[in-house]
Structure 1
Amino acid sequence: MTYGNRLREQIAAPGTTPLIGVYDMYSASIAAEHYDGMFVSGFGFAASHYGLPDIGFIAWPDMLAFVQRLRGAFPAHHLLVDIDDGYVDPEVACHMVQSLERAGASGVILEDQKRPRRCGHADGKLVLPLEEYLEKLQLVLATRNDLLVVARTDATEEDDILHRAEALAATDADVVLVDGVRSVEWIERIRGVVGSKPLLFNQIAGGKSPRLSLTELTDLDVDVAIYSTPCLFAAHKAMDTALAELRLADGRLPAAEANMIGVKESTDLLARNITRHHPAAAPQGAAR
């Protein structure tokens, strides 16, 4: 079964499928210990690879190379990839989709923002005319073989949100995402207009959307939940704390503790990225 069809099958199963945002190979190695699905977040990748905010700096060859490395280390995990607006041009979007599918991506998210683009939970977002976006989306859909495609709108006006969600649901896209949804009521309204089409919900700490459990999302008939930044923000806090403590201790490393991460724990984690390729290796990701 192809990677795209494996993810479709997972999404079609009962419950809400969680996909955890990863930003580099180390964060992915940790995420793989807990979940069987990853989301290659544009927010996290822009921060990690460039040290810049998620406002359009990502170059498609860099994202492609990252996905190739991920698939090499995680042969059995779902990989949903944020490709922003397809890197502007429809031709580039189609080339990227073909390249990602060959690299082993499970799916992509294609948004309707126009430049200058913004994080989906930021203010000041602008969207393409609907027909222009639908033309790009249709070209991407015609280009893919089995790759799963999520059609995303960043509309902010109430009437436009529902109009675009309904239009995206009428396409051959596999899943619909309305980013920056502000309330449970709006999840229900969007669910009403997309009909039977699978629905994706994006959660990000400090973002515009409510914090909901997988049980609550299942009750709302949401099929997929992406968690864009839990690894990135946790690493930010942990590193800031560790370095502040190191400075206060005049550069003396803390004493070893039972739950401390040291050389052995780190090496063991990374070694599993090799053993996953052994036929007898047990899968590391936890189901749902």
Structure 2
Amino acid sequence: MTYGSRLRAQITAPGTTPLIGVYDMYSASIAAEHYDGMFVSGFGFAASYYGLPDIGFIAWPDMLAFVQRLRGAFPRHHLLVDIDDGYVDPEVACHMVQSLERAGASGVILEDQKRPRRCGHADGKLVLPLEEYLEKLELVLATRKDLLVVARTDATEEDDILRRAQALAATDADVVLVDGVRSVEWIQRVREVVAGKPLLFNQIAGGKSPRLSLTELADLGVDVAIYSTPCLFAAHRAVDTALAELHLADGRLPAAEADAIGVKESTELLARNITRHHPVPTAREGAGV
């Protein structure tokens, strides 16, 4: 199976598929220990690669190179990639989709924002005219071979949210995302409007959407959940705490504890990114026959 068809099959299976937002190779290495699917978060990548907020600074060659490195280290994980608005022009969006599919991405999310863009849970978002977005989306859908495509709207007005969600569900996009959904009631309303089309829900700490478990999301008819920033925000807190403690200790490293991360643990984690490429032994090979 191709990467796109594998993710498509996973999403259409019962339950809600979780995809964990990663922002660099190290966070992805840790996420791979716990989940079989990753979300290549634009928020996290902008923060990690540029040290800038997620308001449109990402250049498509940088994102493509990151995905190539991810696929090289994680040959069996799902990789859903945030490509924002397709980097403005439909031609660039199509080129990026072709390039990502060749690089081994499982799917992409294409939004209907116009520049200057914002994080999906921020105020001040502006959206393209629906017909203009649909034209770009249709070109992307015609370009992809088997890549999974998530159609995303960032509309904020209630009538426009439902109008756009219904229009996105009527396309050949595989999944629909309404970002920044503010309540369970609105998840239910969007679910009704998109009918049988798979639905994606985006959770981000401090964002506008309610915090819901995978069981709760499955009960609401949500097929896939992306967690944009758990790695990034956890790293922020952990690094800040560690450096504050180091400063208070006059630069003396803390005594090693039983569950501490040191050179050995870090090296073992990263070494697994090499061994994942080794062929899985058959039962006959495993028995040493």
Q: CA deviation at 1:283?
A: 18
Gaps of 5+ in 2: none
Superposition pairs of residues 1-288 of structure 1, within 5 angstroms? 1-280=1-280
> Given that residues 21 and 226 in structure 1 are in contact (C-alpha distance below 8 angstroms), is that contact kept between their aligned partners in structure 2?
yes
Q: Secondary structure at the match of 2:286?
A: coil
Q: What whole-Å deviation, never above 9, does each CA across 1:81-106 have from its counterpart, x for those lacking one? A: 00000000000000000000000000
Kindly indicate whether structure 1 or structure 2 has the higher relative contact order, using CA contacts under 8 Å at least 6 residues apart: 1
Q: CA deviation at 1:286?
A: 25
C-alpha distance in 1 between matches for 2:284 and 2:45: 26
Q: CA deviation at 1:226?
A: 0.1
Q: CA deviation at 1:62?
A: 0.1
Distance 1:287 1:76, change over 3 A: farther
C-alpha distance in 1 between matches for 2:286 and 2:24: 17
Q: CA deviation at 1:284?
A: 20
C-alpha distance in 2 between matches for 1:197 and 1:82: 20
Q: What whole-Å deviation, never above 9, does each CA across 1:190-243 have from its counterpart, x for those lacking one? A: 000000000000000000000000000000000000000000000000000000
Distance 1:261 1:4, change over 3 A: same
Distance 1:197 1:282, change over 3 A: farther
Q: CA deviation at 1:282?
A: 12
Distance 1:268 1:153, change over 3 A: same
Distance 1:284 1:61, change over 3 A: farther
Distance 1:62 1:90, change over 3 A: same
C-alpha distance in 2 between matches for 1:64 and 1:105: 9
Distance 1:163 1:206, change over 3 A: same
C-alpha distance in 2 between matches for 1:284 and 1:242: 45
TM-score of the two chains, using structure 1 as the length reference: 0.97
Q: What whole-Å deviation, never above 9, does each CA across 1:50-81 have from its counterpart, x for those lacking one? A: 00000000000000000000000000000000
C-alpha distance in 2 between matches for 1:74 and 1:286: 26
Gaps of 5+ in 1: none
Cα RMSD between the aligned structures? Answer: 3.6
Which 4+ residue blocks in structure 1 deviate beyond 4 angstroms? 281-288
Aligned residues: 288
Identity %: 90
C-alpha distance in 2 between matches for 1:254 and 1:268: 21
